[in-house]
Amino acid sequence: MKLVVTGGAGYVGSVCAARLVESGHDVVVVDDLSTGHADAVPDGCTFVEGELTEVVGPLLADGVDGVLHFAAKSLVGESMEDPHKYWQGNVVTSLRLLEAMREHRVARLVFSSTAATYGEPDSGSITENAPTRPSNTYGATKLAIDHAIASYATAYGLGGVSLRYFNVAGAHGPFGERHTTETHLIPLVLQVAFGQREHIRIFGEDWPTRDGTCVRDYIHVTDLADAHLLALENAVPGAHRVYNLGNGTGFSVREVIDACRRITGHAIPASVAQRRPGDPAELVASSAAARTDLGWQPRRTGLDEIVSDAWEFARRQHGQ
């Protein structure tokens, strides 16, 4: 297929673009490099640097089979401080993309949605039927786009799939997580191993979980990319499907830190800090629907495997 990948110079976008190229697709990456990196765009892709709404029309006019839409603002804290940036950058931009897709009759869209659309759900594994009550602007903007895709599917025949990721982690060879503002647990812990920070702060150890620290569902980015390929192939004209993507197993913050100690051989000092506002105690996905409908099977589900791929990637970045 001829495909456009928005945000293909970012973490998940670059891994998905790499998997699409590996699978024989013809891929054009569009990225404004506001948070992505030009050298993250995989070999074999055509790279168009520019603001999505400006470049997408001419690109789609060329005849495209599908779009995978990753380009987005994705910092939760920032989304609360500067919501305009998120409504504009995520929702308005996505609506322009949808319009361009309608105009040029692009049949398939796979959208990078998020577990943040569920907010702080009740405990237990989270299915797609869980109420969507986002607790931050980032999640609200992603949910608004999900709704827009649903109505474009119903009214205009788009085949749309929203994939709601839980905690994406790990790396796919040379493609991995490189944020200027890093907020995610695994890369932060690895920064301690590199001496870039003195210790990792654990946000609360009095949560109602097995060791008192928050439990999250870490999904390997390669497994996530595989789900995108399947979603693309299985998109049905006129339908909007939503799938949660996670490992199905939760790991606590302490378990993640211990895995990082094992893999890096570094002591990784940790201290206990205040709970972070808006953090639920436990977030674990039910990916039963993705497994049944798409035939998706996550293969890299062990925490040590996820951490060692992230570690290999980080070492590469440090020239080791």
The footprint of ligand UDP (CB under 6 A) covers 167, 183-185, 188, 200-203, 214, 216, 253, 276, 279
Provide the minimum distance between the beta carbon of 160 and ligand UDP in the complex, in angstroms, as a whole number: 24
Provide the minimum distance between the beta carbon of 127 and ligand UDP in the complex, in angstroms, as a whole number: 18
Provide the minimum distance between the beta carbon of 283 and ligand UDP in the complex, in angstroms, as a whole number: 6
Nearer to ligand UDP, 73 or 108 (CB): 73
| Spatial contact of 114 and 128, defined as CB atoms under 8 Å apart | no
Find the helix or strand (DSSP H, E) in which 305 lies.
Answer: helix 303-317
Q: Classify residue 167 by its DSSP letter.
A: E
Nearer to ligand UDP, 104 or 261 (CB): 261
Nearer to ligand UDP, 202 or 224 (CB): 202
Residue nearest to ligand UDP (CB): 214
- Closest residue by Cα to residue 212 from 293, 272, 285: 272
Nearer to ligand UDP, 66 or 170 (CB): 170
How far apart, in whole angstroms, are the C-alpha atoms of residue 218 and residue 251? 7
First to last CA, the chain: 37
165 is catalytic: no
Largest CA distance in the chain: 56
Provide the minimum distance between the beta carbon of 194 and ligand UDP in the complex, in angstroms, as a whole number: 15
Marked catalytic residue, from 138, 152, 165, 243: 138
Q: Is 24 exposed, middle or buried (0-12, 13-18, 19+ CB in 10 A)?
A: exposed
Provide the minimum distance between the beta carbon of 111 and ligand UDP in the complex, in angstroms, as a whole number: 18
Nearer to ligand UDP, 23 or 301 (CB): 301
Provide the minimum distance between the beta carbon of 84 and ligand UDP in the complex, in angstroms, as a whole number: 22
| Spatial contact of 108 and 52, defined as CB atoms under 8 Å apart | no
How far apart, in whole angstroms, are the C-alpha atoms of residue 165 and residue 95? 21
Q: Residue 310: helix, strand or coil by DSSP?
A: helix
How far apart, in whole angstroms, are the C-alpha atoms of residue 21 and residue 28? 10
Nearer to ligand UDP, 175 or 207 (CB): 207
Strand order in the sheet with 240-245: 46-49, 26-31, 2-6, 66-69, 108-114, 159-165, 240-245
Note the helical H segments in 106-220. 137-156, 185-193
Residue 231, sorted as left (phi over 0), alpha (psi -120 to 50) or beta, turns out to be alpha
Q: Catalytic residue positions? A: 138
